[in-house]
Amino acid sequence: QKEVEQDPGPLSVPEGAIVSLNCTYSNSAFQYFMWYRQYSRKGPELLMYTYSSGNKEDGRFTAQVDKSSKYISLFIRDSQPSDSATYLCAMKGQGAQKLVFGQGTRLTINP
Amino acid sequence: DAGVIQSPRHEVTEMGQEVTLRCKPISGHNSLFWYRQTMMRGLELLIYFNNNVPIDDSGMPEDRFSAKMPNASFSTLKIQPSEPRDSAVYFCASGRARNTGELFFGEGSRLTVL
């Protein structure tokens, strides 16, 4: 079993829809949770960074962490075609340097 | 500010040939990571360095792979001899050792081994 599980999709939704992307994990030592966005033929770039449980909002993006369920989510409101990309969750433990990435979910927003 | 710079962007080679991938991290970053990305396995960490010293190479698939960081502004990943199963996109990323949740990735080197 992988440490981090993420549905690879693909996921296709109409413009303006609310998108929910999710990851589950098995290692209870994970404390830091990230979402990276990767456009086609580009490297991943950090989108959201959260510590421990709770919510974090940045514009149209909301990251949620539920450590009791070992479940993290990324919500995108009012989705735009420019949001079309692969979204990778990543996480690490306290003091750790290595990030463990999910498989990535390929998202397409249709105009 | 220049980001992480990788070269070559694309490499096509024949099985058995030596491949060298290069990376220039962001100035001031003291951690450097080499990842490999494939459709089947996603993003896998191969090796990372702190202050030019290899810290963890447990992700390097076998002895055919080697990585060096002779100074703070340059790293190489070498595959010798290359095999078709090495075909992937290889990413270099840099960050600050105290905050390696935030990694800055290069655009990748797409390797095809025929």
Asked whether the predicted pLDDT for residue A5 surpasses 70, the reply is yes
In this prediction, residue A8 carries a pLDDT of 82
pLDDT digits (tens, 9 = 90+) for B26-67: 999 999 999 999 988 899 999 999 999 999 999 998 899 999
**Is residue B24 within 8 Å of residue B4, measured between CB atoms?**
yes
pLDDT band of residue B1 (cuts 50, 70, 90) is: low
| Record: contact A98-B105, CB cut-off 8 A | no
Tell me the C-alpha distance between A50 and A27, whole Å: 16
How many residues are given for chain A? 111
How far is Cα B47 from Cα B106, in angstroms, rounded to an integer?
15
SS (H, E, C) chain A: CCCEECCCCCEEEECCCCEEEEEEECCCCEEEEEEEEECCCCCCEEEEEEECCEEEEECCEEEEEECCCCEEEEEECCCCHHHCEEEEEEEEECCCCCCEECCCEEEEEEC
What is the C-alpha separation between A31 and B22, in angstroms, rounded? 32
pLDDT tops 70 at residue A19: yes
Q: Looking at CA atoms only, how far is residue B73 from chain A in angstroms?
A: 19
Tell me the per-residue pLDDT of A26-60, one tens digit each, with 9 for 90 and over. Answer: 999 999 999 999 999 999 999 999 988 889 999 99
Tokens of B2: 């220049």
> For residue A37, what are its two tokens?
């966005």
Chain A residues with CB under 8 Å of a chain B CB are 32, 34, 41-46, 49, 88, 90, 92, 97-99, 101-104
Query: Is the CB of B101 less than 8 angstroms away from the CB of A45?
Result: no
- pLDDT at residue B100 in the model: 65
